[in-house]
Amino acid sequence: MKRATNTPRRIRSVATVGLLLGLAATGLTACSATGSVTANQSSAAGGTAAPAPGSSTNSGSGSGSGSGSGSTTPIGSSSQTGGGSGAGGTTGTGGSSNACTSSELSVAQTNSSVGAGQYYSTLVFTNTSSAGCTLYGYPGVSYVAANGVQSGNPAQRAAGSVSLVTLKPGGTAQATLHDSNGGTGYTPQQCDLTPAQGLRIYPPNEKAAIFLPWKTSHCAGTTINPLTIGPVTAG
């Protein structure tokens, strides 16, 4: 009778142990599934932005990005330097270190002629320095009244071919000046005939003017532009 009593107990113990082992296995499976979902969510959400530390993908990406940035900087610098050099060359044709300055030049008016109500003359620029220099572009020209202020509108640029002109010491360059003869072609009100004491002339790319004495009368009306100047040419 005692053996019959012990058998059920052993069966219950075995069943209990089996039940506990089953529950433990279920818990481990659940934990494993939960951890897998979390890792996938992290990869999807963070992705490339937050790869595992020391990952070869992260290292390769960083190296590639760094290499790209490093090569871009020198290229940009080289391009800017070239651009700067190119821009300097362009302005150099008119304003380089050997460009003629106002202090190195004298100006005279020659070959004046009047006909059909028009006035033409040639402005001659002479290099008075001991070194060669260059001129490029258009001079600035305007009339000067008795009180030293500008009279009328400045000269407009006439059509012409622009080229670099080199002046040796004592060399010359020229530009054609044109104006209406008196009030020809304008009403008295438009012309506003006014006496002038001379011309204020700015060599190309210069901010210092040269005064050329010339007592005359011209149309100083502000609504008209009879005075024109051509580009500097060799001569």
Of the listed ranges 89-103, 110-124, 145-159, 173-187, the one predicted with least confidence:
89-103
Percent of the chain surpassing pLDDT 90: 54
Given the DSSP bridges, would you call strands 172-180 and 233-234 parallel, antiparallel or unpaired?
antiparallel
Of the listed ranges 59-68, 95-104, 184-193, 226-235, the one predicted with least confidence:
59-68
Is the pLDDT reported for residue 52 higher than 50?
A: no
Task: Tell me which DSSP letter residue 179 carries.
Answer: E
97 phi and psi angles, rounded to 5 deg = -65, -20
pTM for this entry: 0.60
Is the pLDDT reported for residue 11 higher than 50?
A: no
Helix (H) or strand (E) run with residue 61 in it: helix 56-95
Query: Hey, where are the domains in the chain?
Result: 2-95, 102-234
Q: Which amino acid is at 231?
A: P
Report how far apart the first and last C-alpha atoms of the chain are (Å, whole number): 144
Of the listed ranges 19-28, 214-223, 224-233, the one predicted with least confidence:
19-28
Helix (H) or strand (E) run with residue 47 in it: none
| In the block, residue with structure tokens 């007592």 | 215
Task: Determine the pLDDT at residue 128.
Answer: 98
Task: Determine the pLDDT at residue 232.
Answer: 98
Q: pLDDT of 14-38, one tens digit each? A: 444 454 444 344 443 333 333 332 2
Residues in the chain: 235
Task: Determine the pLDDT at residue 165.
Answer: 97
Q: How confident is the model at residue 97 (pLDDT cuts 50, 70, 90)?
A: low
CA–CA gap between residue 143 and residue 211 (Å, rounded): 10
CA–CA gap between residue 118 and residue 183 (Å, rounded): 10
Task: Determine the pLDDT at residue 56.
Answer: 39
Is the pLDDT reported for residue 60 higher than 90?
A: no
The CATH code for residues 102-234 is 2.60.40
Q: What is the mean pLDDT of the chain?
A: 72
CA–CA gap between residue 51 and residue 83 (Å, rounded): 42
Q: Which among 84, 109, 110, 88 has a CA at the least distance from the CA of 99?
A: 88
